[in-house]
A and B are shown apart, each in its own frame.
Chain A
Amino acid sequence: EVQLVESGGGLVQPGRSLRLSCTASGFTFANFAMHWVRQAPGKGLEWVAFIKSETYGGTTEYAASVKGRFTISRDDSKGIAYLQMNSLQSEDTAVYSCARGSGIYRAPIDYWGQGTLVTVSS
């Protein structure tokens, strides 16, 4: 069974940093791209970041709203994806979910984690 479990969320002050982790199990992590998606309270889904598997070069992509502040990475040997979030702003408050891309690049998301809440507030 595919499982994605996020951790690392919490309350953080504006301008500070936070690192989220996503621990994967039930599939060969190295064979799949990974995404981070967020959902602000009562709002829709917002795609945040993408990373190809290390086998395919580990290429990363970012939403314009987080580019230069957030960094996605992965450790295929541990089956973990990360999202380093710097210079956090109140607009970044959301539930952050990791999600599996069903292919290498041009592929939909087929599994989602339950998410971890990030609250940016003083």
Chain B
Amino acid sequence: GAVVSQHPSRVICKSGTSVKIECRSLDFQATTMFWYRQFPKQSLMLMATSNEGSKATYEQGVEKDKFLINHASLTLSTLTVTSAHPEDSSFYICSASDSLSPLHFGNGTRLTVT
């Protein structure tokens, strides 16, 4: 089945630093990748949609200068949290689609900003 790999699974960083999270589709070409944020005991909140080779589309209320998304190839998208603050601490999950199959998700990245 389709596999989406997300790295790192956990990261702790200091306030003011930037953190990059990678999302890779391992056995299919992902024309679209999605980035979600999930708070404890809540459902997934879509942050942005990225299509390979074009700029990401951000959901309302998501700061695109803070959450930089790059989808440079059909198998890799990255989310960079810039100048992280404690309120950015959360569980970030990516998903990928080749538009023919249902979405498959990575295993998430737990970000803690101290």
The answer to whether A and B interact is no
Residue ranges of B at the interface with A (Cβ–Cβ < 8 Å) = none
Residue ranges of A at the interface with B (Cβ–Cβ < 8 Å) = none
